[in-house]
Structure 1
Amino acid sequence: FVFPLCLLFLPAVCGQLNYYFYRNTCPDLERIVFNAVISAVMNETRMAASLLRLHFHDCFVNGCDGSVLLDDTDSMIGEKTAAPNHNSARGFEVIDAIKTAVENSCKAIVSCADILTLAARDSVHLSGGPYWPVSLGRRDGKTANKNAANTNLPAPFESLDSIINKFQAVGLSVQDVVVLSRAHTIGAAHCNTFKSSLFNFKGTSSPDQTIEPSLLGNLQTLCPENNNDPNTLASLDPMTQDRFDNAYFKNLQNNEGVLQSDQTLFSTPNASTVPYVNFYNNYPYAFFMDFHISMIKLANLSVLTRSDGEIRKNCRFVN
């Protein structure tokens, strides 16, 4: 089963990444990461969504190379202050803690990129989502790209065509757009990511009329027009905000998507994404299988291996 999946997703990577990469050099790696993610999620359930998002934001910029983890230096501006990440990307301290635990067990062996990939998988599984094997052997990039983070990452207020184009630019399909967007069944969003839909939708000085009325009222109360508190959050799935379940697609069918980028998957007339939303709502087990397939594709985007990149001593800085 694993071998065909490898052939299906970026076969050029298959000989370089493998499921047993650290079997001899760091045999306890997956246990160390899993235990650390359990601890972080038990301390704050929202952290599962944050680690998953961090992995997504890493892979969409320069590939899955840990570039999102880098701090600014005198010679390099990192991605943390890019618009999609600034004051919203989080979980860096969790990755730091995992890296420290891994280094204590097997020094200078495991990349930060592999740690982040495993942590994202474990976050999904601990939230009730599927478990899938993660191929390993990524190396860490030596630079970051703030401009690419601003340009490449899909924004919550973008049109469906723009979102699809950004996915296709990195080799992901329309189906992957729907499947990976469903990660928003867990987590929360800042008011400023969707407030324009509540009061001034596309410059009309009125809300988006497609939003279900009771949800609209609740969000307007939570995020009043004259309140710009960056710490106010809205659950992306109010009923089961910490559970990786199938409610996401039902919410879209009921016009209850909090983010415009989610609701547009179902509300855009004649969109190629609508049949996928309907199918996955009816067949949740099919979704679970397709989600782990899309996550494998995501995790294999433009990875560095072998002599490329490095194994960072500290995930925040190049060696």
Structure 2
Amino acid sequence: MAFNSVAFLISVIIFSVLSAGYGLSSNYYHKTCPDVEPIVTYAVKNAVAKDKTVPAALLRMHFHDCFIRGCDASVLLNSKGNNKAEKDGPPNVSLHAFYVIDNAKKAVEAICPGVVSCADILALAARDAVVLAGGPSWDVPKGRKDGRTSKASETVQLPAPTFNISQLQQSFSQRGLSLDDLVALSGGHTLGFAHCSSFRNRIHNFNATHDVDPSLHPSLAAALKNVCPANNKAKNAGTTMDPSSTTFDNTYYRLIIQRKSLFSSDKSLLDFPKTKALVYKFSSSKEAFSKAFVSSMIKMSSITGGQEVRKDCRVVN
């Protein structure tokens, strides 16, 4: 199948650059740009003060970046000529808040020109976004380089909201991430908004027997069908990921247990004994979730693959 051949190719690319992550360090800019972190934090704080959806946007942006060619800021590159970039691929057209990274990069360039990569700025911004949403903080390893390649066609490699647990496991394992990482990183779904297209498969024509996924709680199914009717064409229709969608907490896991999670991929976490146990663990302890999330974020963000430090995050040098 085409999917499997492309998946294999991407896994080879990812693994070929995975070892580069070991060159990262927490004090990478200690001498060359010591104020980089407060500068990025200031840019993120400014944006969040005006738009509470920014944390979800930055966290998702970082995740989508790392899962294609490693954390190389390729998701930030603009399409050019005949090349359609990642940000214009189907899973990424709803990404937003790129201006936050632009603002941070401009401020950093003003004091440390040509030193700090866009990939590091995005990793720092994602951490700051989680903290500002009420989540945990962590020391971000730094030293990533920016990539020169960005292809919309490669975004098919992003784990889809319709994936089952086996597909999710394959997607994560290709990037050196475990089932523990899968469950912890899925907790990022506690933030943000989901468009109808992401969960339509569960509320309309589910299968030959059921119109609605029988594992979906009836009250949620009714509410979702109201928001996303079968013939709905509204581009921005959808719903928040959970009732506290601008707060980083462990509500997501409780919703899975209550059969009130939105995506097929979310509810599939109950289909493996190991992932199910972690869902229950994180649902009862925000502290346990936060600890696991931090560990998995550091692991994911250490998948590197770039070659340069861009002067402008939207174009190669």
**1:203: how far off?**
5.2
TM-score scaled by length of structure 1: 0.90
SS of match in other structure, 2:92: coil
Identify the residue that residue 317 of structure 1 maps to in structure 2.
315
Matched, 1:241 2:245: yes
Q: 2:133 aligns with which of 124, 127, 137?
A: 127
Identify the residue that residue 260 of structure 1 maps to in structure 2.
264
- Tell me which moved more, 255-264 or 279-288: 279-288
**1:75: how far off?**
5.5
Identity of aligned residues (%): 42
TM-score scaled by length of structure 2: 0.91
Measured in 1, the distance between the counterparts of 2:83 and 2:283 equals 44
Measured in 2, the distance between the counterparts of 1:265 and 1:23 equals 40
Identify the residue that residue 223 of structure 2 maps to in structure 1.
218
Q: Could you tell me whether the CA contact under 8 Å between 2:73 and 2:118 is conserved in 1?
A: yes
Q: 2:84 aligns with which of 77, 81, 92?
A: 77
Measured in 2, the distance between the counterparts of 1:114 and 1:278 equals 33
Measured in 1, the distance between the counterparts of 2:70 and 2:76 equals 13
**1:47: how far off?**
1.1
Summarize the alignment of residues 3-82 of structure 1 with structure 2, pairs less than 5 Å apart. 13-14=21-22, 16-74=23-81, 76-82=83-89
Measured in 1, the distance between the counterparts of 2:82 and 2:229 equals 41
Which amino acid letter does the alignment assign opposite residue 205 of structure 2?
Answer: N
Matched, 1:209 2:211: no
Unaligned runs of 5+ in 1: 1-9
**1:282: how far off?**
2.3
Which amino acid letter does the alignment assign opposite residue 291 of structure 1?
Answer: F
**1:296: how far off?**
0.3
SS of match in other structure, 1:123: helix
**1:271: how far off?**
4.3
Summarize the alignment of residues 136-175 of structure 1 with structure 2, pairs less than 5 Å apart. 136-150=142-156, 152-175=157-180
SS of match in other structure, 1:133: coil
Report the count of equivalent residues: 300
Identify the residue that residue 5 of structure 1 maps to in structure 2.
none
SS of match in other structure, 2:252: helix
Measured in 2, the distance between the counterparts of 1:80 and 1:12 equals 24
Which amino acid letter does the alignment assign opposite residue 95 of structure 1?
Answer: I
- Tell me which moved more, 195-204 or 248-257: 195-204
CA deviation vs aligned residue, 1:238-286 (integer Å, no higher than 9, x gap): 2x111111111110000010112111112x3x44311111111223212
Identify the residue that residue 291 of structure 1 maps to in structure 2.
293
- Tell me which moved more, 139-148 or 242-251: 139-148
SS of match in other structure, 2:167: helix
Identify the residue that residue 114 of structure 1 maps to in structure 2.
120
SS of match in other structure, 1:60: helix
**1:76: how far off?**
3.1
Measured in 1, the distance between the counterparts of 2:301 and 2:208 equals 38
Q: Could you tell me whether the CA contact under 8 Å between 2:147 and 2:305 is conserved in 1?
A: no
Q: Could you tell me whether the CA contact under 8 Å between 2:20 and 2:305 is conserved in 1?
A: no
Identify the residue that residue 101 of structure 1 maps to in structure 2.
107
SS of match in other structure, 1:273: helix
**1:302: how far off?**
3.0
SS of match in other structure, 1:189: strand
**1:153: how far off?**
0.5
Identify the residue that residue 304 of structure 2 maps to in structure 1.
302
Q: Could you tell me whether the CA contact under 8 Å between 2:144 and 2:304 is conserved in 1?
A: no
Greater than 6 Å deviation, 4+ residue runs = none
SS of match in other structure, 1:108: coil
